[in-house]
Amino acid sequence: MKRIGIMTTGGDCSGLNTVIHRIVRGAMLRGWAVYGILDGTDGLCANPPHVIKFDADTLPIENARLSGSFLHNGHARVLNFETAAAQGKIQEFNKRLYDGLKSLNLDALILVGGNGSLSLAWANRATYRDLQLICIPKTIDMDMPMTDRTIGFDTAVQQLTSFCDQLMLTARSHHRWFVVQSMGRDCGQLALNAGVAIGASAILIPEIKFNTDSLVEHIKKSSADYGIIIVSEGISLRGHSGRPADMISRKLTAAGIVNRTAFPEHTQRAGDTTAADRILATRLADCALHAIENGETYVMTSLTDNECKTVALSDFVAAGETVRDPKIPDLMTSNAYVSPDDPLLDVAHDMGIYIGEQK
């Protein structure tokens, strides 16, 4: 009987509980034992590791739609890759991870994480040398190469869309503009998709240069006197500091445009998992279980052209635009961004949305 482990790492998002539930269901149908590692690498470093053994009732199906992670994603200020790097203890940390995995006697580990977690897994791949490592991509940022979708993205778009829908009503009542700051780090996918969904008046993302004078002119020429301007958290404005939405708001105020800022913050990482994310989680879980059966290791599940398949972690790292991690100086993470050819950019432009100076 195979023994497999599941671990969620990095930031949380909706869909994690769905993928955990589907992995457990599929594994138990195969007669495998499934162990959930609590608190990610925190729990793995404990002696003994903090784990639970799943049975059919551990995570009820009605709870699989909930946001967050049933297994948790770790504590702040404990020894993890970031704090280990800061303290010069990476080798010690990796040894503790290896010893924790060794003590569990697993045949395979399914790691559910974002681009940072997967880049770390490949950079420290010797830690997983005695088992099969299968990775599943999740992030609300949609900043991972070699997959068309990541678990959590669709729900985050829906959460941000719903937030803006409510603001639109009060914006209309007061003849006012709202500058809404989205998550997404250095990738504009979340802002772009939600902005198109709500019919935003402007969408500012890190990938496309914008001119605040052009933005102001666009708003002043609008046929309406209210609306939503979505600003991705990764944008910058030369000569200005502070939160991006505040910077844009000050520019609008100086031009006589009545506006307010709004910050949905972590509500974008919450909310009942949408049907699209549940289906994606189920398909990627199924793909991961087949990869274990096929003896694969150091791979990531991927959805490409509506086909679920596995890709090598080495290819994942090589395919993205690699940048140095600000918190782990020796780590290069693999990133994806909004492409200049993204069809949504043309759609936004055709719908009269200001998206910068590229279009």
d(CA 314, CA 119): 9
The Cα 336–Cα 143 span in angstroms is: 4
Closest alpha carbon to 117 in 153, 82, 70, 71: 82
| Residue of 141, 143, 154, 325 marked catalytic | 141
Chain CA centroid to CA 267, Å: 13
Q: How far apart are CA 221 and CA 187, in angstroms?
A: 29
**Taking a C-beta distance cutoff of 8 angstroms, is the pair 6, 23 a contact?**
yes
Does an H or E element contain 312, and which? strand 307-312
Kindly report whether the peptide bond that precedes residue 49 is cis, defined as omega within 30 degrees of 0: no
Q: Where are the alpha helices (DSSP H) in 175-272?
A: 189-198, 212-220, 244-254
Q: Are 357 and 213 in contact (CB under 8 A)?
A: no
Is 141 catalytic? The answer is: yes
* Catalytically active residues, by annotation: 141
